[in-house]
Structure 1
Amino acid sequence: MSRLILFNKPYGVICQFTAELGHVSLKNYISLPGFYPAGRLDADSEGLVLLTDDGDLQNKISNPKYKLPKTYWVQVEGVPTQTAMKKLCRGVTVKNYITLPAKANLMNEPTDLWPRIPPVRFRKHIPTTWLQLSINEGKNRQVRRMTAAVGYPTLRLIRFAIGDYTIADIAPGGWHLLNTT
């Protein structure tokens, strides 16, 4: 039987068990031995990280060929136009590749959202908007690069779900252990 940890990674934590200078690591939160992350989130991103003790399950979660959707809540600077939203849905050029089409929708600011420490910068005359963005790939800093490519830089990035797994009811720094078949 495989085991799976659903971890709500706080801002500033790196997705490895070995600490690096200036960063808190997974070992500060998860003390169970034999677990490894199935994918990563940058230190400046928050939200769901799945960890497992099963290499086959780790591959099925992180390998793009299995097309497991990753859903993000993204706070961007400005108010995206319909044109920008359509571009995200079609795929955008980021560095030297075109992203796969995404599902992109405007959303209300999440009501049960925890404060980020440090807080996101605030600009009195520039509004912010929340998007829900789902992708089936996961290239380095992809969501941030996608929103920047359509003219709306990411201010805050929270991975809410991977497939059917979510951070609903998991506080930042908290985790749930599941047994899988």
Structure 2
Amino acid sequence: MARLILFNKPWGVLSQFTDRGTPAGSGGARATLSDYIDVPGVYPAGRLDRDSEGLLILTDDGALQARISSPRHKTPKTYLAQVEGEPDEAALEALRRGVTLNDGPTRPAAVRRIDPPTLWERDPPVRTRKSVPDNWLELTITEGRNRQVRRMTAAVGFPTLRLVRWRIGRWEIGDLGLGAWRDA
């Protein structure tokens, strides 16, 4: 039977078990999955950027890994995005239709404004500016391009300040603590 692990990835952690990109003499390796998960034979099903937080799925089943991460399977991924500014209905509608990025048009996203969610503290904290409000959006996409949600919100004029992946397909982070993992 396949092993499936849900992990709440902290900000600053690489979505891999080794840090192959640390330049020599830079002061040390960056945090990786091996700092949190000591389970042999599991690998991430997809990626989550170093500056993003939240749900990462790991499995020892290659077919399941491909099904979760491949854009052709259109697995929905839901994110909570803290954006700079106050998105109006036109911006939300543009995201719902799909926006054109430098690598082509995106598929439509499900998006809605939400109240600020109850989340763990982020280290380092998100920068805030007293003169510019921020708001939270819940976005669900069925692709997984590099930094896609950040690029989409920026394309409609509202840069992402904090990004938390909350759900992948039927799996949700729920009450899983920051840096913690559990078998699904």
TM-score bracket relative to the smaller structure: over 0.9
How big is the shift at 1:96?
Answer: 2.8
Q: Distance in 2 between matches of 1:65 and 1:122?
A: 37
Match of 2:78 among 56, 71, 80: 71
2:46 aligned with 1:53:
no
How big is the shift at 1:2?
Answer: 0.3
Q: Which amino acid aligns with 2:55?
A: L
How big is the shift at 1:63?
Answer: 1.0
Match of 1:105 in 2: 112
- Render the CA deviation track for 1:2-44: whole Å, top value 9, x for unaligned: 0100000000000000024341000000001000000001100
| Structure 1 moving runs of 4+ over 3 Å | none
Q: Distance in 2 between matches of 1:138 and 1:30?
A: 24
Q: Which amino acid aligns with 1:10?
A: P
Instruction: Choose 12-21 or 150-159, whichever is displaced more.
Output: 12-21
Q: Distance in 1 between matches of 2:59 and 2:38?
A: 13
Match of 2:98 in 1: 91
Match of 2:124 among 118, 125, 144: 118
Match of 1:10 in 2: 10
2:69 aligned with 1:62:
yes
Task: Tell me the SS of whatever aligns to 1:146.
Answer: helix
Match of 1:27 in 2: 34
Task: Tell me the SS of whatever aligns to 1:76.
Answer: strand
Q: Which amino acid aligns with 1:15?
A: S
Q: Give TM-score scaled by structure 1 length.
A: 0.96
Q: Which amino acid aligns with 2:161?
A: L
Task: Tell me the SS of whatever aligns to 1:120.
Answer: coil
Q: Which amino acid aligns with 1:68?
A: T
Q: Give TM-score scaled by structure 2 length.
A: 0.94
Task: Tell me the SS of whatever aligns to 1:13.
Answer: coil
- Render the CA deviation track for 1:85-139: whole Å, top value 9, x for unaligned: 000000001113000000010000012x111100000101110000000000000
Q: Distance in 1 between matches of 2:64 and 2:105?
A: 28
Match of 1:143 in 2: 149
Q: Which amino acid aligns with 1:6?
A: L
Identical-residue share of aligned pairs (%)? 58
